[in-house]
Amino acid sequence: MSAIAALIVRLNSELRKAAREDMWAAVGADIAAQDAAAKSIRSSGLYQLIGSIVASSGAIAGAGMNLKGARQSQLRFDSNAPKASSGLEAHSSDSMSHLDVTRMAHAQTAAQQETMKWGGMAAMTTETSKIAGAGLNMASTQCQEEKAKHDADSTKAKAHAEDERQFIDYYQTQIQDMLSKLAEMRSADSETRSKLVNMA
């Protein structure tokens, strides 16, 4: 009986040790998964920040180009437009010659071309920055996907650790029951031997 009890105690110790090691491995996996999820969140936030900065910078540059284009357009118009005459001719509607009308039309066309050139560059800059921002937002989404995977790993590790805890509790209860029964058997055996000795 003592040998059986010693064997059960030794087996109990070995199984509890193995279950604890499994439980701590699961806890370690949970911690690692949570750490990886936190890193994914930081990366996602960084990508979103950079994407927003790139898109906003492009929009600001585009607005600046539009302003520059408006200024260049005005300068182009002013340099090509006929100069106003002084005196009575300046106030007379008949004072513009055919040459002046042609020069005015040419000045307006040149100004429109300048506006279109700068407007096109502004639009290209703005849209290019949006593309770059979208790429960075996609990288952010991938980081969020990684975080979700790490969260799932963490949940699995927690569940495994809980299973190991429950196993340890159940197994300890079973071993204690077996040891109690062995103690009862040992007591009954001792009592029976004592009665046999007294009878003899």
pLDDT single digits (tens) 163-194:
877 887 887 888 788 888 888 888 888 888 88
How does residue 136 score in pLDDT terms, banded at 50, 70 and 90?
confident
39 neighbors 151 (Cβ within 8 angstroms)? no
pLDDT single digits (tens) 15-60:
778 777 877 887 788 888 888 888 888 888 888 888 888 888 888 8
Question: Could you identify the residue written with the tokens 């002084």?
Answer: 86
109 lies in which domain range? Answer: 2-85+97-192
Into how many domains does the chain fold?
1
143 neighbors 47 (Cβ within 8 angstroms)? yes
Of the candidates 132, 119, 148, the one whose C-alpha atom is nearest the C-alpha of residue 40 is 148
Q: Is residue 200 part of a domain?
A: no
Q: Is residue 199 part of a domain?
A: no
**Residue 139, Cβ neighbours under 10 Å: how many?**
17
Q: Is 73 exposed, middle or buried (0-12, 13-18, 19+ CB in 10 A)?
A: buried
User: Which stretches within the chain are classed as H helix?
Assistant: 2-80, 88-91, 98-199
Q: Is residue 91 part of a domain?
A: no
Q: Is residue 48 part of a domain?
A: yes
Q: Is residue 198 part of a domain?
A: no
Question: What pLDDT score does 96 carry?
Answer: 64
